[in-house]
Every structure is written in C-alpha cells, then in structure tokens.
C-alpha cells in the first residue's frame, strides 16, 4: 500500500492539471467572445441608420386622391399597389414591405397558378389591387349587397383549428372593394397551401386580425352578404350577421340535390361549373374567384333568393309572435 502522502501528492497534481485546463478553456472562450464582438462592431459601423431608410421611404411616397376626393397615399410597384385610404370611419394602414422578397415570391407564385377558367372572369378581379398589400375601395364603390369569401389556415398544436388568413369582398358590379392577407392571433401551424394558397411570406405584409375584423364588420354592417357556406366565413371572422341579410348559395333550396336522406348542399365548384360554366378551384383557391362565382349564382336567381328570404323572415316573425302569446 503506497504512503498516504504520496497519494495526496498525486491527487493534488491531477487537480492542478484540471484547473489549468479549465482556465485555458475559459481564456479561449473569452477570446472568441471578444473576436465576435469586434466583428459585430465592424458590421454595425457599415450598416445604414434606420432613420435614413425611413426618411427615404417618406420622400418616395406621393400624396394623391381618388376620383371622389378620398385622400390616398399610394406606392406603386410593378403589378402591385399599396394603399392607405380614409373613407368615413373605415381606415386601412398597410404595413410596407421592407424587402422585395415577399413581392417577388408573390409574383412567382401567381405566375404559376392556373389561369381563371372560361365563364367571363375578367382581369379586373385579379388586377393590381388583389396583391400583397391590403386594399379598400372608395366609398362610392360600396354597394348595398357585397360578396364575401375567406381563406383559412390551421392553428393550434394539431393545425385543425381554422383561422382567417385572407379575405376578399366584391360589390354587386363584380369589382373588388376589399382584400387583405390576415395575420392570425394564434401561431400558424398548418398553412394548408394546397387549398388556401397562403404561404409564410404572405404573413410578412399581413394585417393583424383585429384590424381586419373591425374593417370588415364596418363594411358588412346593414348590408346583404352573399357567399357560399358563409357560416364558416363568419366563424373565422368572429362576426355575426342578421340572417335576413344573408344570401348563402349553399343553403339555397333550388341549388341543393336530392339525396337518400333528403336535400343536401353542393360544393361551390360544382355549382359554378354546372350552372355558370365557370371552372374554379382547379388548384389553390382564389377567394376573389369564389366570391365572384357565388355573386353570379345569386344574381342569376336573385328574385327567388329574395322571395325565400322574405318567407323565412315571415316564418321567424310568426314563431316569435307565438312565443309572446
């Protein structure tokens, strides 16, 4: 058995060696940190100041006005229009992209999508206004009846919960009066791109949900709303709308087919092709195209839609009268 003093001496030497190695590692790490800080200072020294970029943007913005005198600040880009417009109490303040990347990606994606099908879809529905930036038409373009369509993405851990990601509204003349990509309150876990057409870069210029909810609510208030399966659209908008002002092509009696268990709803894609000769939803959905199809279906049977709405209103009034008795 070795002497106790010899064992202690050996352990002390080993401990000293470990301390020396630890000290060297600390010195190496400190050196790397100093080097990294130096590189960051050098990068910062060559970076343009934030204020200068803002000033440059302000100088490049020109003030203009719409035909009816609504003040508009517009920044034009190729095939895109970013608009800030005031009209009554409604207001849109679009976030300005800090990079061309989202616009370039948007253009690239749009160029690869299927062209609108036969059936009279005109270029004005898919023009500069229906781009990355939010759009709101002048007040004189807002008709008494509006067509609405929304696209959804998935949120939550499984991505099965739907959240609003894009909304489009057309007037009775088939003109775009509102469009926006929407940034949900919750984190997106499934973009559902194959159906929604929404991609991560769309969120870089998207408008916060609460702002879109307020603006859409103001537009739809006291107006007839046309669409297909509107219950889903109102659900993701978290808005309610009077039933007597809803014209839903999914619920319209003559558009339903007779099934073994009674009448059942048909898809907008089927109705558009069968009744209008319009091919839609051949790939990623376009909310302007879907809103247009629903609007044309409504206009084709407008008289019957309105008679059915009046009958429903009378039935509700009768039921309400019985309850009061």
Residue 59: predicted pLDDT? 39
Exposure b/e, 35-57, CB count within 10 A at least 16 = b: eeeeeeeeeeeeeeeeeeeeeee
Strands 80-87 and 90-92: antiparallel
Q: What are phi and psi of 60, to 5 degrees?
A: -85, -5
Residue 273: predicted pLDDT? 96
Residue 237 to residues 24, 145, 211, 317, Cα–Cα distance (Å): 60, 18, 11, 28
Please report the beta strands in 1-156, taking only residues with DSSP state E, as ranges in sequence order. Answer: 62-65, 71-77, 80-87, 90-92, 135-136, 145-155
Contact 150, 287 (CB under 8 A): yes
As a whole number of angstroms, the distance between CA 295 and CA 247 comes to: 9
As a whole number of angstroms, the distance between CA 312 and CA 242 comes to: 12
pTM flag (> 0.75) = no
Exposure b/e, 104-141, CB count within 10 A at least 16 = b: ebbbeeeeeeeebbebebeeebbebbbbbbbbbbbeeb
As a whole number of angstroms, the distance between CA 217 and CA 220 comes to: 5
Residue 315: predicted pLDDT? 87
Residue 259: predicted pLDDT? 85
Tokens representing 238 are: 């978290």
In the chain the domains, ranked by start, together with CATH numbers, are 120-323 (3.30.420.10)
Tokens representing 283 are: 């790939």
Residue 258: predicted pLDDT? 87
Contact 32, 26 (CB under 8 A): no
Per-residue pLDDT of the chain (325 residues; tens, 9 = 90+): 555 555 556 666 777 777 777 677 766 767 767 776 666 666 555 444 433 333 433 333 444 443 434 333 333 333 333 333 333 333 333 333 344 456 666 565 555 444 444 344 443 444 445 678 899 999 999 999 999 999 999 999 999 999 999 999 999 999 999 999 999 999 999 999 999 999 999 999 999 999 999 999 999 999 999 999 999 999 999 999 999 999 999 999 999 998 888 899 999 999 999 999 999 999 999 999 999 999 999 999 999 999 999 998 888 888 877 666 5
As a whole number of angstroms, the distance between CA 227 and CA 170 comes to: 10
């Amino acid at each position: 058995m070795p002497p106790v003093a010899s064992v202690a001496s050996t352990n002390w030497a080993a401990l000293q060696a470990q301390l020396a190695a630890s000290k060297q590692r600390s010195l190496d790490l400190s050196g790397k940190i100093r080097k990294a800080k130096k590189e960051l200072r050098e990068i910062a020294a060559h970076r343009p100041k934030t204020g200068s970029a803002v000033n440059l943007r302000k100088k490049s913005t020109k003030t203009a006005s719409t035909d009816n005198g609504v003040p508009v600040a517009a920044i034009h880009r190729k095939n895109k229009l970013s608009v800030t417009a005031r009209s009554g109490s409604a207001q849109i303040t679009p976030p300005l992209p800090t990079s061309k990347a989202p616009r370039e990606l948007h253009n690239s994606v749009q160029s690869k999508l299927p062209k609108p099908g036969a059936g009279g879809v005109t270029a004005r529905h898919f023009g500069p206004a229906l781009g990355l930036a939010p759009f709101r038409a002048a007040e004189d373009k807002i008709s008494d009846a509006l067509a609405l369509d929304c696209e959804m993405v998935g949120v939550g851990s499984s991505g099965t919960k739907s959240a609003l990601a894009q909304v489009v509204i057309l007037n009775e003349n088939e003109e775009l009066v509102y469009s926006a990509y929407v940034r949900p309150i919750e984190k997106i876990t499934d973009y559902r791109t194959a159906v929604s057409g929404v991609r991560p870069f769309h969120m870089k210029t998207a408008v916060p949900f609460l702002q879109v909810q307020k603006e859409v609510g103001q537009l739809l208030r006291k107006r007839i709303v046309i669409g297909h399966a509107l219950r889903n659209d109102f659900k993701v908008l978290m808005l309610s709308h009077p039933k007597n002002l809803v014209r839903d092509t999914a619920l319209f009696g003559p558009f339903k087919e007779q099934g073994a268990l009674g009448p059942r709803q048909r898809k907008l894609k089927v109705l558009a092709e069968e009744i209008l000769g319009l091919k839609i939803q051949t790939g990623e959905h376009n909310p302007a195209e879907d809103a247009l199809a629903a609007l044309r279906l409504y206009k084709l049977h407008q008289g019957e839609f309105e008679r059915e709405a009046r009958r429903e209103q009378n039935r509700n009034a009768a039921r309400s009268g019985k309850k009061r008795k």
